[in-house]
Structure 1
């Protein structure tokens, strides 16, 4: 609230206080000089305009205005000019000040009242003390209670705002992670399909002059792979547009689809041997997809960088993890150390492998194989419930 409402309130109290003084003049002779009574009530009521912005100063000023002149001469005490400003000042200093400042303001008001009781003949009786002390104590307690409630509500609002900010930050992080995941999926889909199409198109070109009928098979493979890529991209883009219900979705590939992947790669010119060691078990969906994508990316790289070649895929299960290694027999791509991408094959594919494996707390090693070829080996720990 602004200062204007408090100023209007103080003006109204001041007017009624001056009317109260005038009425007392008609009915009886006031204690003390009349200008002093008028001035004291004017100060005590006018300062109430500052009761929110300067509550302690207001309480001290009211106490001085009511009790200060009493040290010189007894003055008439009025309801509107003395008692009401004391109650308002007591409430305001309790409502709008800290505990220490509120206690100081209350102490100043009590001191002013003590002077009034000691010096004013009308208020000096013991019977009048409860009629002043009880309302003043009630106003002070009400002010402290309302302040505590307001602070509690303010804390609740701040906590709600903090939680909302944390929730929005979590949403942004989740969106960023989802975008990264979609980017990896798009790369894996496009890189695999385009690499296959390039190899098959090259094979068809070689056969066109020498054996045109045999060129039909690789061209058909190009068409089939292109349709597959378009379908996969359509599903991914449909998910981004929120068209999940309209899509004929299929489960994400996993270790159960490795045999089909190996057969497909063999059909396009990369003979692959698949070996499974240890008792097979059900993997978490994310780990299952990661194993498949690592094998797919490694075989795609072999097809692009090492053809003509062969490859061997080993999938090994143990009590605490699942391991997968892919080794091709083509020319080495460089001399990278274990765990480092090999210079001849650095690209988004190997970077994506590292990101996928790191997401599940695993390790990835890529290096030239002894003699010739290239090896990709990943280890993914299994959750306790999967062991």
Structure 2
């Protein structure tokens, strides 16, 4: 059901009042005390003026007019427009029936307070309506009391009234500016917090990839070496010591890397003796390590080698590590060939093994497993491409190309 304009206006006023009361639940108390003080003083002033035989018109009308005009000031911040209209009606309404003398405390002071309040706490259109209502009330007062319309009274009324209206608008503009500044600061703070959370999530994802690469490599090596040791225990127990020792060393390495990574997550960076991240300079050691645990690897470098950006350098190493680990895990016994090719615009790394392609997980799980997913994520981070597929005849090939210009941005 669509609301009519008056209903919408009333609903908006009530909504604004409720919102104000939620923001300032104790705001009515000081305004009520303020209105009570003015009302009491105005009534006492009326009695004092009556004792001195000052002509005020019918006393009940004057008392009622001042009581209404001062009492409604308790709502000056809740409903400023209604307050301004009620004050104007209370002051000028009785004048339509009988002329009354306007008092300073019971009539003029409420007019000034209501003028300031409607200018300070209302939007522009509502403030204009409230000011117009007050001006209309004053016009009625002057018309019903021609003797009060003198050259001296006009500035006495117009100057304070204009000052209250201007002061209210200026203070409202300042409060609005401060509110906008606070909202902008809160928005910037929220955006900064969001950026921090995004950076933390990205860092956690990076650490998760590192953990996967390290632990997957170590566990795969331990599984292969444990299987080799089991085969040798009955035939040649002395030779079984070497793979068992490799299992022990690899397990210690995995535990150390896990402790280091978890220390980073706990903020223990300062107490950890961190090693630099591996890169292409460590590929020879990786090849030697893989050869020592049963995977002969040949490494070839094509083109003039050059320093790579740290992220690209680490990505190349992790791709080779993951590809060799997969070959050892799924295609053994086999050999592998690693080719690192440099050109002016990119670096390309290719890892190819000569093992079987029908091993468990080689044709299925590895293609969609965490290893290849991690490779794709690493390569995609630097705008590169990754191709992984079985080689016709025998073997499996992983080729990644990383553009250098994208990595330097």
Q: Does 1:368 align with 2:390?
A: yes
Q: Which moved more, 1:60-69 or 1:156-165?
A: 156-165
Where do residues 334-345 of structure 1 align in structure 2 (5 Å cutoff)? 342-345=363-366
In the other structure, the counterpart of 1:306 is 331
Where do residues 93-132 of structure 1 align in structure 2 (5 Å cutoff)? 93-132=118-157
Residues 78-121 of structure 1, C-alpha deviation per residue, up to 9 Å, x if partnerless? Answer: 11011100100000000110000001111111111122222224
Rounded to whole Å, the distance in 1 between the matches of 2:372 and 2:358 is 13
Measured after TM superposition, the shift of residue 178 of structure 1 is: 2.0
Rounded to whole Å, the distance in 1 between the matches of 2:38 and 2:233 is 106
Rounded to whole Å, the distance in 2 between the matches of 1:238 and 1:43 is 72
In the other structure, the counterpart of 1:23 is 48
Measured after TM superposition, the shift of residue 141 of structure 1 is: 1.1
Where do residues 292-303 of structure 1 align in structure 2 (5 Å cutoff)? 292-303=317-328
In the other structure, the counterpart of 2:71 is 46
Is the contact between residue 116 and residue 124 of structure 1 (CA under 8 Å) also seen in structure 2? Answer: no
Q: Which runs of 5+ in 2 are unaligned?
A: 1-23
* RMSD, aligned α-carbons: 2.0
Where do residues 32-181 of structure 1 align in structure 2 (5 Å cutoff)? 32-181=57-206
Is the contact between residue 333 and residue 344 of structure 1 (CA under 8 Å) also seen in structure 2? Answer: no
Residues 352-387 of structure 1, C-alpha deviation per residue, up to 9 Å, x if partnerless? Answer: 112222222222211111221111111222236859
Is the contact between residue 280 and residue 317 of structure 1 (CA under 8 Å) also seen in structure 2? Answer: yes
Q: Size of the alignment, in residue pairs?
A: 382
Is the contact between residue 333 and residue 374 of structure 1 (CA under 8 Å) also seen in structure 2? Answer: no
Measured after TM superposition, the shift of residue 122 of structure 1 is: 4.8
Rounded to whole Å, the distance in 2 between the matches of 1:24 and 1:258 is 104
Classify the secondary structure of the residue corresponding to 1:383: helix
Rounded to whole Å, the distance in 1 between the matches of 2:68 and 2:266 is 70
Rounded to whole Å, the distance in 2 between the matches of 1:267 and 1:177 is 35
In the other structure, the counterpart of 1:359 is 381
In the other structure, the counterpart of 2:266 is 241
Is the contact between residue 309 and residue 407 of structure 2 (CA under 8 Å) also seen in structure 1? Answer: no
Rounded to whole Å, the distance in 2 between the matches of 1:264 and 1:48 is 87
Measured after TM superposition, the shift of residue 76 of structure 1 is: 0.9
Measured after TM superposition, the shift of residue 163 of structure 1 is: 2.2
Question: Which TM-score applies when normalising by structure 1?
Answer: 0.93
Rounded to whole Å, the distance in 2 between the matches of 1:384 and 1:63 is 72
Identify if the C-alpha distance between structure 1 residues 321 and 28 changes in structure 2 by more than 3 Å, giving closer, same or farther. Answer: farther
